[in-house]
Amino acid sequence: MSDVPFPAGVLEDILSRLPVKSLLQCRSVSKSLRALIDSPYFVNLHMQKSMETNKILYFSGDARFPVTLRNPSGVTLETPFELTDYPLVLGSCHGLVCLSNGPDERSILLWNPSTRKYKLIPRSIYEPLDDLDIITFDQLGYDHVTDDYKVVRLSHFTSESMVFRVVVYSLKLDTWQSVEQDFPSTFFPVNCYGQGVFVNGAVHWLVNQIPFPDKGNLIYAFDLATQSFHTVPQPKYPNNITATDLGILEGRLCVICIHEVYNADIWVMGEYGVKESWSKLAALTMRDMTTWPYPTVRPLIYTKKGRDVLLEVDGQWLIDYDLQEKRTIEMWKGDTSLLSMFVYQETLVPLVRNELVA
Amino acid sequence: MTSSKTIVLRSSDGATFEVDEAVALHSLMIKHRIETGGADSTTIDVPEVTGNTLSKVIEYCKKHVEAPNSDDLKSFDTDFVKVDQAVLCHLAKASYYMNIKGLLDLSSKTIADMFKGKTVEQIRETFHIKNDFTPEEEEELRKENSWNLFV
């Protein structure tokens, strides 16, 4: 073996292909290797490489079994924090997952499942500590201008008028800040699964336009970098819509349109902001499944090299849908009544300041 | 009829290899040298690479230039990296210096796979990296990674 060491460029190239688990081990090899792996430059290089491989984890539980975290093979994994009854994923971005884990919905944390580091997010100064009459919509996103991870929160005090405030938590500053631009007082976010979607630098919600319920819902978005709002055009829906919801599939915005109660159409926006780029990805009928009042369908990831798409229904079923044949290939039911899947990327992205390790 | 021009590549230890220009151009470094060098540059020095390694690199380039769409290209690549670790590392370094992306990807990926199964001590041995941590620091790191078994 030659004594000539690897040029830095080659070593970086090799290391950037390794899974996080191996890289964490390589940190123990030498000080220079640790410095390289911990460097923001390398974290970013590795993240770019791992963007093609999304991973899935899920929460499983019900009255019989306490909630556990599991991998796709069904193996239970330890979490560095204790899991409460209904952990809710509030966004997954660059390997960081935002989770609400009790004791109330506004107790949220940021977690990197690959490095196993997590950080509790401080309470927002804009909300009284013990007021339970608050409705909140939280979603994690990334601000590319300030290189910061942020949680955008819409909050509404039920005792007040129907106004949603917008506050943003910054990981870098470890504080909540109020946003100058108001959320329109006639807009009311519809309860989408996971409370919003982060795509293309903005957090998106479906909003109902009270007092014009017949106008239908809008897709309304908050751009993290510009701190301003914009609307996104929707595809042309069929008649007899029962409900619509937002989703995300490998970085692209989706809408799930439930019509005539049992039918779900999934649309994907090929090019952000371009109305003509909406295309129908899948159409399913779920007449055989008991759902009330209508099914909640969520696209998760492509599988089989883009041939199929994995869908979650009502937090209980998984469907493997063939995109070419346009039909359901397989269906599984979770073994507990909760099956909350989330997609994340394996990265070394750190949780700066007040980082906790199990 | 076009005349096929040949280029001579000279390794660090003075070995020379005559190759078709098209094959040599698979290395972006050589392409750049030819384009920026004078009209007389038919011999190109590659001082970062020894004769043995250069010969293998040329073999790779030949296959990929002359038969890029052949069915056995994939199996050629797979067999190409079935070499001992030292040769593999030389190939990675050479492909980096000579700017041959396909070969760098191939050798890097193979070396990365080698990393995966090894312990910290084995990694140090294989890649000749000196342990400069104190025993206390090592213990600290070992504790940090003790959960690694689960994920």
**Nearest CA distance, A60 vs chain B (angstrom):** 17
* pLDDT the model gives residue A3: 47
pTM attached to this predicted model = 0.87
Between β-strands A134-143 and A228-232, what pairing exists: parallel, antiparallel or unpaired? unpaired
Q: Which residues of A touch B86 (CB under 8 A)?
A: 1-2
Percent of chain A with pLDDT over 90: 52
Cα radius of gyration rounded to whole Å, chain B: 20
* pLDDT the model gives residue A1: 35
* pLDDT the model gives residue B149: 41
Find the residue in B nearest to A22 (Cα).
B116
Percent of chain A with pLDDT over 70: 93
Mean pLDDT of A99-116: 89
pLDDT in tens, chain B (151 residues): 445 788 999 999 999 999 999 999 999 999 998 888 765 668 889 988 999 999 999 999 999 998 888 888 989 999 999 998 889 999 999 999 999 999 999 999 999 998 887 888 988 888 888 899 999 998 888 887 765 443 3
* pLDDT the model gives residue B36: 85
Q: Which residues of B touch A6 (CB under 8 A)?
A: 89, 92-93, 127
* pLDDT the model gives residue A205: 93
In degrees and rounded to multiples of 5, residue B79 shows phi and psi of: -70, -30
**Nearest CA distance, B73 vs chain A (angstrom):** 21
* pLDDT the model gives residue B150: 36
Mean pLDDT of A227-256: 91
As beta bridge partners, residue A311 has: A299, A319
A116–B130: do the CB atoms touch at under 8 Å?
no
Nearest to A103 by CA among A119, A126, A117, A123: A123
A18–B96: do the CB atoms touch at under 8 Å?
no
B108–A357: do the CB atoms touch at under 8 Å?
no
How many angstroms separate the Cα of B108 from the Cα of each of A49, A97, A320, B94? 13, 30, 34, 12
A202, A141 in Cβ contact below 8 A?
Answer: yes
- B76-82: Cβ within 8 A, 24+ apart: B77/B106, B80/B56, B80/B106, B81/B106, B81/B107, B81/B110
* pLDDT the model gives residue A191: 64
A27–B141: do the CB atoms touch at under 8 Å?
yes
* pLDDT the model gives residue B2: 47
B108–A78: do the CB atoms touch at under 8 Å?
no
* pLDDT the model gives residue A4: 54
Provide the CA A357 distance to its chain's centre, in angstroms: 23
Find the residue in A nearest to B116 (Cα).
A22
* pLDDT the model gives residue A223: 96
Q: How is A144-156 classified by DSSP, letter by letter?
A: TTTTEEEEEEEEE
* pLDDT the model gives residue B151: 32
| CB–CB contacts below 8 A, A to B | 89
**Rounded CA separation A193/A297 (Å):** 9
Question: Going by C-beta distance under 8 Å and a sequence separation of 6 or more, which residues neighbour residue A319?
Answer: A284, A310, A311, A312, A313, A328, A330, A331
Q: Which helix (H) or strand (E) holds B23?
A: helix B21-24
As beta bridge partners, residue B148 has: none
Label residue A356 by pLDDT band (50, 70, 90): very low
Could you tell me the two tokens for A100?
A: 């609400």
CB-nearest to A29 from B92, B124, B147 is B124
* Residue of higher predicted confidence among A102 and A296: A296
A28–B138: do the CB atoms touch at under 8 Å?
yes
Find the residue in A nearest to B87 (Cα).
A1
Q: Which helix (H) or strand (E) holds A341?
A: strand A338-345
Nearest to A253 by CA among A207, A216, A201: A201
Mean pLDDT of A160-178: 88
Q: What ipTM did this prediction achieve? A: 0.85
* pLDDT the model gives residue A287: 75
Mean pLDDT of A144-161: 86
**Rounded CA separation A34/A31 (Å):** 5
Label residue A5 by pLDDT band (50, 70, 90): low
A17–B108: do the CB atoms touch at under 8 Å?
yes
Per DSSP, helices labelled H in chain A are: 8-15, 20-26, 31-38, 40-50
- pLDDT digits over A40-89, tens only? 999 999 999 888 788 999 998 887 888 999 988 888 888 999 998 888 89
Mean pLDDT of A175-182: 88
CB-nearest to A10 from B92, B123, B129 is B92
